[in-house]
């Protein structure tokens, strides 16, 4: 890695990477697109909060409550800076990407989408960016349309144009990076075309924010969602960013404590942004843990992380493509893909591949990756997926490839 911090030092920060699995095998963790491992700094931050600061936020006046509130709110400011957002009240804490998208579908969608309107998504979306829109369009009698993918695993943007030409599209919603193919979406181009047509855009950044620099001031979308746990942070925390002009027009998602200004028997007035959208006691400890994760990422530098993953992905694609009987999905051009490699090995079912290589301590994901629409498009039941992060090494990729030989042995290929 081209950074002041060596890969060896980074790996030492992740206690889990030191453990043995199965038959005393070193863990080779290659399922980062599902969730990342956590550095000791994040684990300690969560521990420290519970040991020393635990109190509910935003209300009480005693010392602990003030400290907890400050730590929680500082994370919001930190995230705003991390994504180059000028208005910190545009950052809403949620449980994760899924809740963020559901919030938009429920709150903005129900106010703005009507019969015969169109929501456009893509064939390579995670179920979290499909199902909320199915629920909404069915409720409203609206239509859900898909931008297809070409054989290289890239979106066919001509299809977007034909949807936009109907004049009925209310929202175009897409992931910035596919969680299966690793394809990096041509985000700027989609937003440009949508803006020209006066159509709002939502970006699912669950796979992109952990792995590359994202600048929301430059991007120009209207909604942006991502999760902490895929970027060294804890589970149960995510962020929804909404452009303030849009956020100000939205009705609340959940009603309850903290999101109100005044409650009377039959009427309630709402709290200021972003609290209007954060009902109930939030996940304080994990938001504070998330803060430590962002510090960690900043210390390494997002560009260094992206470069490290480019190097690993190049190496993996080069070596894996030489394995007999392997099929690799997604773009060949390294500039167009992140550190996610989906593959099939001969006609061995991915579950069998994953079970056999697991005996060597190699953890990859097998299945449909919550992307059944894409599986149908690729005409496969499932794939194996190896996905990399800041702590992965070329030796670990070699271990994966070595284990594939065992699969060939077992299945007599």
Partner 1 sequence: MTGDPIYTEMIIEYSKHPSNFGEIENPDISRHDSNPLCGDSIDLQIKINENKVSDIKFKGKGCSICIACTSVLTELVKGKDLEEVKKIEKNDVLGELGLEHLIRTSPVRIKCALLSLKALKYGIYSYFIEKMKDEKSAGNLKEEATNLY
Catalytic residues: 370
- Closest approach of Cβ 303 to partner 1, in Å? 36
What is the rounded distance in angstroms from the CA atom of residue 138 to the CA atom of residue 309?
Answer: 40
Name the β-bridge partners of 227. 238
- Closest approach of Cβ 387 to partner 1, in Å? 18
| x-marked contacts with partner 1 along 303-342 as a string, rule CB under 8 A | ----------------------------------------
Helix/strand/coil percentages in the chain, nearest 5: 45, 20, 40
Residues 346-365, interacting with partner 1 (CB under 8 A)? 348-352, 355-356
> Quick one: tokens of 26?
């070193």
Chosen residue from 170, 230, 368, 385 binding partner 1 by CB under 8 A: 368
User: Measured from the CB atom, is 299 or 346 closer to partner 1?
Assistant: 346
CA dihedral (299, 305, 311, 315) in degrees, to 10, reads: 110
Number of neighbouring beta carbons within 10 Å of residue 93: 24
Nearest to 242 by CA among 398, 361, 80: 80
Chosen residue from 382, 400, 401, 404 binding partner 1 by CB under 8 A: 382
- Overall residue count recorded for the chain in this entry: 413
* 31 contacts: CB under 8 Å, gap ≥ 6: 363, 364, 365, 385, 386, 387
User: Measured from the CB atom, is 129 or 383 closer to partner 1?
Assistant: 383
CB 403 within 8 A of CB 386: no
Site membership for partner 1, residue 406 (CB under 8 A): yes
User: Measured from the CB atom, is 121 or 366 closer to partner 1?
Assistant: 366
User: Measured from the CB atom, is 332 or 351 closer to partner 1?
Assistant: 351
- Closest approach of Cβ 337 to partner 1, in Å? 23
Binding range to partner 1, per CB under 8 A, among 45-53, 66-74, 142-150, 403-411: 403-411
What is the rounded distance in angstroms from the CA atom of residue 22 to the CA atom of residue 150?
Answer: 40
Chosen residue from 35, 375, 377, 398 binding partner 1 by CB under 8 A: 375
Site membership for partner 1, residue 367 (CB under 8 A): yes
- Closest approach of Cβ 346 to partner 1, in Å? 11
- Closest approach of Cβ 367 to partner 1, in Å? 5
Site membership for partner 1, residue 161 (CB under 8 A): no
Phi then psi dihedrals of residue 386, to 5 deg: -105, 130
The CA angle 73-79-81, to the nearest 5 degrees, is: 110
259 DSSP assignment:
S
Q: Which residues are at the interface with partner 1 (CB under 8 A)?
A: 348-352, 355-356, 366-368, 372, 375, 381-382, 406, 409-412
């Amino acid at each position: 890695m081209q950074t002041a911090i060596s890969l060896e030092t980074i790996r030492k920060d992740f206690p889990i990477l030191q453990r043995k699995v199965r038959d005393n095998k070193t863990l080779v963790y290659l399922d980062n697109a599902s969730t990342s491992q956590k550095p000791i700094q994040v684990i300690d931050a969560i521990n420290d909060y519970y040991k020393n600061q635990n109190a509910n936020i935003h209300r009480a006046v005693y010392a602990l409550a003030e400290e907890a509130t400050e730590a929680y709110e500082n994370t919001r400011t930190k995230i705003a800076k991390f994504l180059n957002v000028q208005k910190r009240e545009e950052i809403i804490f949620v449980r994760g990407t899924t809740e963020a998208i559901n919030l938009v579908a429920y709150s903005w969608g129900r106010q703005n989408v009507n019969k015969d309107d169109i929501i456009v998504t893509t064939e390579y979306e995670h179920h979290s960016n499909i199902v909320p829109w199915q629920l909404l369009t069915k409720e409203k009698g609206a239509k859900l349309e898909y931008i297809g993918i070409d054989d290289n695993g890239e979106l066919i943007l001509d299809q977007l144009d034909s949807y936009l030409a109907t004049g009925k599209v209310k929202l175009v919603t897409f992931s910035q990076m596919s969680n299966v193919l690793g394809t990096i979406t041509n985000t700027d181009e989609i937003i440009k075309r949508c803006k020209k047509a006066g159509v709002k855009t939502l970006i699912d950044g669950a796979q992109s924010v952990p792995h590359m620099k994202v600048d929301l001031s430059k991007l120009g979308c209207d909604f942006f969602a991502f999760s902490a746990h895929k970027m060294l942070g804890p589970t149960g925390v995510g962020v929804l960013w909404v452009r303030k002009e849009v956020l100000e027009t939205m009705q609340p998602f959940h009603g309850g404590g903290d999101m109100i200004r005044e409650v009377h028997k039959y009427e309630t007035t709402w709290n200021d942004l972003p609290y209007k959208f954060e009902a109930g006691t939030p996940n304080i400890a994990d938001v504070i843990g998330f803060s430590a994760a962002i510090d960690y990422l900043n210390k390494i530098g997002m560009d260094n992380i992206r470069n490290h993953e480019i190097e690993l992905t190049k190496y993996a694609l080069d070596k894996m493509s030489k394995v007999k009987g392997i099929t690799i999905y997604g773009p060949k051009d390294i500039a167009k893909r992140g550190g996610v490699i989906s593959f099939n090995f001969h006609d061995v079912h991915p579950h069998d591949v994953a079970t056999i290589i697991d005996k060597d301590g190699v953890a990859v994901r097998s299945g449909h990756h919550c992307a059944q629409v894409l599986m149908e498009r690729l005409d496969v039941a499932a794939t194996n997926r190896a996905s990399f992060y800041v702590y992965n090494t070329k030796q670990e990729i070699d271990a994966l490839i070595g284990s594939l030989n065992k699969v060939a042995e077992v299945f007599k290929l």
